Structure 1
Amino acid sequence: MYRTGLLLAAAAFAVAPASASAEIIESENGGFASRHSVVVAASRADVWRELVHPENWWTHTWSNDAHNLHLDARAGGCFCEALPPTDGWAAGSVEHMRVVMVMPGSLLRMSGSLGPLQAEGLTGTLTVTLAEESEGTRITWDYITGGQARFPVEEFGPIVDGVQAEFLGGLVARLGDETVSAASES
């Protein structure tokens, strides 16, 4: 039943007209939600293969080197980054997110705070959904953040939305495919 509801929701979103606009779709209760969607001329298998290798396309790392990233794409797995030794100190590490759901070829969901949000009482959930379309694969990228922070969270939403768009753009660029259509709500 849950899968049917998820598929119906994905189908309903898939028929929405493409748009190049962006806006905050939710900014109440100390949080915000961001959504980006793009159709690429690549198979779901090709998109999935790249999605689970963020070291090839992710931006905004603590070490300034995406090759230090690793994603263990299974429930409980870590989306982590190795930090090289600095100033005589041993190597470090950072957990960007924890994998909470994997449906290979269809859905990857992770929970955690990204970047500077990590220093606050915030948590985020990133859900990446893949769906077949006649032109290729629709990638829907949802990031929802909520909690307590020392700054107005809703004002930070557009900045985080822009970074989420960069992440999706990096994946699309890595696929080497032209975008067939794109939509964004944040």
Structure 2
Amino acid sequence: MAKVLLPLHEIIGIPIADLVRAEMQAAQASMEFIENVGFQRDPKADRDDLGELRFVTFRYQYPDQSGKPVSHEVKVPLLSLMPLPLVQIARGEIELVARIEDVKKLALDSVVVARPPGKSETLVAERHEFIASVDGLTAMDDPKTKSAPRIRIKIEVKQSDLPAGFDSLLRKLDQNVVDKPK
């Protein structure tokens, strides 16, 4: 494979963007599961209308105060009985070595700069970026190439919190459990 030279921010950003895309696919699969298992959709309904909540019903006998068996019927939202596949990346670690191949001076018109109030000059006189290639992780320790400038980059990504909407949905599902004498 030919060596590809990229700005360092792209070398760092590409694997992070791939993690985000993976999360997006996982979220889509979770939503499809919730729609298909938890709801009965009317084929004529609007695309955003999930339809009616799907329930499971079961019956059992339970003795009343006198000991006589009484039939009970329980109606439970199916989603409340299923483990929701809310999969997220709990911890992602990306480690790479970037070999600095060049330093590129950026034109000021391509850089967002701050100007102090009432001043004509910018706070940034000029800006540079590294142009780099990805090296093997052992390249930092290789005595043959030790003099080449390299940067070891280690990025840790942590899991986000459960969306508030899911917590609210689970509480609503719990409130819809019905247990009544039949």
Normalised by the shorter chain, which TM-score bucket? under 0.3
The alignment's TM-score, normalised by the length of structure 2, stands at 0.24
Tell me which of the two structures has the higher relative contact order, counting C-alpha pairs closer than 8 angstroms and 6 or more residues apart: 1
The alignment's TM-score, normalised by the length of structure 1, stands at 0.24
